[in-house]
Chain A
């Protein structure tokens, strides 16, 4: 066997060298190509690996990292938010610590098809409900929720036509954090963020942090 191998260069050294070069460069070229799955579902699952360190394999999120529970979120909403992060509409405010962490992750998705694929995968994850973690009075929150129900619906299921996401079943700590961000102008300050600009005055109707916790407590009772 060894003898055969040593004979090859002697028989046709130039051809041997040429083939070696061709195979090497061909291999190098192929290594730069995307050889991953082409169907959206498998591609989405593969891309979701980038999200797992913060959002967890089941998409249930991590309060410690400020990563929300995204399992089962509608594809249109996830896609829209990813596009906002990619375009610098979200995650570029000085005080948006979690948003700034999310932006490079969204930028790591190379194409619009990839954004769609990962959004599709997120929607396919079974929704996860967590117990409430904030004190709040749902009865007081019910009256405050009247404003929200115009867009998010009476059961918090959301409304795509109005750009309003599902909020029923979303973790209370995340909803409270976002409401505070809207109130402070950390979200909804960019002129290109139309949905968030609509949301900001709504959040400002909540007089104080008690009101924020109460409305969030009420949302926690909703079953979309």
Chain B
């Protein structure tokens, strides 16, 4: 249902959506019930000529029920939310599926930059590819990300992946995602990080294996890329153009 409004492009997007809907439905239902009760009681016991104001202590059984029954319902609802929430947490945060690729993500005032393996497939070698504002990944591949901050606290968020993770200076925080839909998706910073926070945007480009192989050749051979077109990965020109629109 939420996919109608925001594309789900990772394997765990649907489980986050189900959890979100469960919480929204439960909380929404009780919000409406509570508001109806509040307005009904306010109207029923409104000020009337000749009716004195009552001091209610809430000790009598028929009055205490208005407190105890909602409390019990809140506890039951908490459990109904907590069980699936813990299952989702365990599946995404505590379970690491077999990793196929690793990418390093850097947050800094006010840009996202990425380091990923070049043609040798190994990180931290001479052919590593470094990009600013654009992360290129292959569809149906499990990525481990190592998130770092170069200055202050940032938050790496890819709404279409239903992924959000804080980046803390001095720490490397890792996680994973497996994109399952080809396309271009937004990266945002979701932690106020200074005057340029609102413009700290980026793109994840999920490609087919053939497209990704072609990008890999272009990105690891700047001269070739320059002959074909301006180096989009190095400039983030598309992002700039979009922000300016």
Chain A neighbourhood of B200, CB < 8 A:
104
Our pick among B130, B132, B196, B234 for the contact of A101 (Cβ within 8 Å) is: B196
Query: Which residue in A86, A89, A97, A100 is a CB contact (below 8 Å) of B244?
Result: A86
Known: A88-B236, A92-B132, A192-B230. A107 touches B111 (CB 8 A): no
By a CB distance below 8 angstroms, the chain B residues around A97 are 108, 150
Cross-interface CB contact of B235 among A92, A101, A105, A108, cutoff 8 Å: A92
| B132 near A191: Cβ-Cβ < 8 Å | no
User: Chain A's interface: helix, strand, loop or mixed, by majority?
Assistant: loop
Inter-chain CA distance A53–B197, complex, in Å, is 14
- The docked-state distance in angstroms from the alpha carbon of A101 to that of B115 is 19
User: Which residue in chain A gives the minimum CB-CB distance to B106?
Assistant: A94
Give the chain B neighbours of A104 by CB distance below 8 A.
110-111, 196, 198-200
Per the CB 8 Å criterion, the residue count for chain A at the interface is 23
B82 adjacent to chain A (CB < 8 Å): no
A92 pairs with B195, CB closer than 8 A: no
Question: Across the two chains, which residue of chain B brings its CB closest to A105?
Answer: B196
The answer, yes or no, to whether A103 is at the interface (CB within 8 Å) is yes
Min distance, Cβ B244 to any Cβ of chain A, angstroms:
7
A191, B226: Cβ atoms under 8 Å? yes
Return B111 CB to nearest CB of chain A, in Å: 4
A13 to B196, CA, bound (A): 48
In the complex the two chains form, is A94's CB within 8 Å of B230's CB?
no
**B contact residues around A88 at 8 Å (CB):** 235-237, 239-240
Residues of A within 8 A of B244 (CB): 86, 107
A89-B235, A107-B240 given; A94·B113 CB < 8 A = yes
**Complex contact B230–A92 (CB within 8 A):** no
> A46 near B: Cβ within 8 Å?
no
Number of A-B contacts (CB under 8 A): 67
Judge whether B230 and A191 touch: CB under 8 Å: yes
Looking at the assembled complex, report how far the CB atom of A108 sits from the nearest CB atom of chain B, in whole angstroms.
Answer: 7
Is A87 an interface position by the 8 A CB rule?
A: yes
Q: Which of B113, B235, B244 counts the most chain A CB atoms within 10 A?
A: B235
B-facing residues in A40-67 (Cβ within 8 Å): 50, 53
> With A and B bound together, what is the CA distance between A50 and B195 in angstroms?
8
By a CB distance below 8 angstroms, the chain A residues around B237 are: 87-88, 92
Q: What residues of B have a CB within 8 angstroms of the CB of A91 in the complex?
A: 111
Task: Check if A93 is an interface residue, CB within 8 A of chain B.
Answer: yes
Q: In the complex, which residues of chain B have a beta carbon less than 8 angstroms from the beta carbon of A94?
A: 113, 115, 130-132
CB-CB under 8 A from A95, the residues of chain B are: 130
Q: Which residue of B lies closest to A109 (CB)?
A: B244
- Chain B residues contacting A53 (CB-CB under 8 Å) are 195
Q: Which residues of B contact A50 (CB under 8 A)?
A: 195
In the complex, what residues of B have CB within 8 A of residue A87's CB?
A: 237, 240
- The 19 sampled A-B contact pairs (Cβ below 8 Å) are A53-B195, A86-B240, A88-B235, A91-B111, A92-B132, A92-B234, A92-B237, A93-B132, A94-B113, A94-B131, A94-B132, A105-B195, A107-B243, A108-B199, A189-B234, A190-B230, A190-B231, A190-B235, A192-B230
- Identify 4 new A-B residue pairs, CB closer than 8 A, beyond the known A88-B239, A93-B234, A103-B240: A88-B237, A100-B110, A103-B110, A107-B199
Question: Which are the 4 A-B pairs with shortest beta-carbon distances?
Answer: A104-B199, A104-B196, A94-B130, A100-B111
